[in-house]
């Protein structure tokens, strides 16, 4: 059994990105620039955004943060996005989710110009992914694909079960693994909150990807012997013994599931660290006009 080290893999990709940025800037280009919009003061979002900003600076990007109160109007956010769409010094734009209820994720995602949509959430990028055209692939599925490549995990002909059907993870993941490429060529089953007898599906998975955000929903008895297991869940669960007052839990009980798995990602330190890398790789692609040109 191998514990997949997302932290170490992310460090390697980060070093490669830093080198690419250095070469890009040496050609006389300005550093890639990511604009991050943050609405309200969700604790987890604050942490994610701080990490994104730090990693941008570490690899030589410029990054700017646009903060909004929880009460900001949808129009005000859309206006900011529109200005950034036209700002030729900005390559990528993301709005950190979740948003307050009065702000429509769909409107926000569609307001960002597809060429600057480095989260890959715009329907144009989602559609281009489905049609196997150049596009921005959202960071979490992209990170998982890179872990599959790094660990030389065979996917062809395997049965992959994706638990979760979100636009951010489950859907793009199922497309990436089923398409005719390497890695790819899996037979994919998508499970979700209305699936009856989830265990009957997960037990048949050669590759199991859990992205439901339900702490330790998947127990060892639901996993096939020798399966490859990716845990995307990262939920803060209250824990008085932890300094922060919470502990991060995945969708899978890793301690129990690890002995049955051939490869497994821990939480934290598995899929999570790779997601920032995917975002920054997309921003560099945007700076190079590599997707839409």
Active site residues: 52, 96, 119
Residues 97-116 that bind ligand GUN (CB under 6 A): 97
Residue in 96, 146, 155, 281 binding ligand GUN, rule: CB under 6 A: 96
**Binding pattern to ligand GUN, positions 114-133, x when CB under 6 A?**
-----x--------------
User: In the complex with ligand GUN, which residue's Cβ is closer, 107 or 260?
Assistant: 107
Q: Does 94 bind ligand GUN (CB under 6 A)?
A: yes
For 17-157, where are the E strands, in sequence order? Answer: 33-39, 62-68, 92-95
- The Cβ of residue 8 has, within 10 Å, a number of other Cβ atoms equal to 11
CA distance 198 to 48: 30
Residues 137-166 that bind ligand GUN (CB under 6 A): 139
CA distance 288 to 30: 11
Q: Does 95 bind ligand GUN (CB under 6 A)?
A: yes
Q: Select the span of 14-22, 62-70, 89-97, 128-136 touching ligand GUN (CB under 6 A).
A: 89-97
Look at the block and give the residue holding tokens 């209820």: 101
Read off the tokens for 266.
């821990």
Q: Nearest to residue 281, comparing CAs of 18, 65, 89, 90? A: 18
Look at the block and give the residue holding tokens 């597809």: 114
User: In the complex with ligand GUN, which residue's Cβ is closer, 72 or 94?
Assistant: 94
CB of 197: closest distance to ligand GUN in angstroms?
29
CA distance 232 to 265: 9
User: In the complex with ligand GUN, which residue's Cβ is closer, 5 or 119?
Assistant: 119
CA distance 202 to 189: 9
User: In the complex with ligand GUN, which residue's Cβ is closer, 92 or 202?
Assistant: 92
Q: Select the span of 71-79, 80-88, 95-103, 181-189 touching ligand GUN (CB under 6 A).
A: 95-103
CA distance 144 to 278: 10
Binding residues for ligand GUN, rule: CB under 6 A, are 94-97, 119, 139
């Amino acid at each position: 059994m191998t514990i997949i080290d997302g932290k170490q893999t992310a460090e390697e990709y980060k070093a490669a990105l830093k080198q690419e940025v250095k070469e890009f800037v040496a050609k006389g280009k300005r550093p890639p620039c990511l604009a991050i919009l943050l609405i309200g003061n969700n604790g987890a979002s604050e942490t994610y955004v701080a990490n994104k900003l730090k990693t941008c600076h570490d690899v030589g990007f410029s990054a700017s943060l646009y903060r909004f109160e929880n009460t900001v109007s949808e129009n005000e956010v859309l206006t900011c996005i529109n200005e950034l769409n036209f700002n030729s010094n900005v390559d990528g734009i993301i709005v950190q989710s979740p948003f307050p209820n009065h702000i429509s994720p769909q409107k926000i995602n569609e307001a960002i110009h597809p060429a600057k949509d480095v989260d890959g959430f715009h329907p144009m990028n989602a559609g281009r992914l489905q049609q196997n055209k150049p596009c921005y692939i959202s960071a979490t599925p992209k990170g998982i694909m890179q872990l599959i490549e790094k660990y030389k995990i065979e996917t062809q002909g395997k049965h992959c079960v994706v638990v979760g059907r979100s636009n951010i993870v489950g859907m793009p993941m199922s497309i990436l693994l089923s398409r005719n490429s390497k890695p790819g060529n899996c037979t994919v089953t998508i499970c979700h909150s209305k699936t009856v007898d989830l265990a009957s599906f997960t037990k048949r998975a050669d590759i199991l990807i859990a992205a439901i955000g339900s702490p330790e929903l998947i127990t060892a008895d639901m996993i096939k012997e020798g399966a490859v297991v990716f845990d995307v869940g990262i939920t803060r669960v209250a824990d008085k013994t932890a300094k922060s007052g919470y502990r991060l839990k995945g969708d899978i009980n890793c301690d129990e599931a690890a002995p049955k798995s051939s490869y497994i990602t821990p939480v934290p330190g598995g899929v999570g660290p790779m997601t920032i890398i995917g975002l920054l790789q997309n921003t560099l692609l945007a700076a190079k006009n590599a997707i839409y040109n």
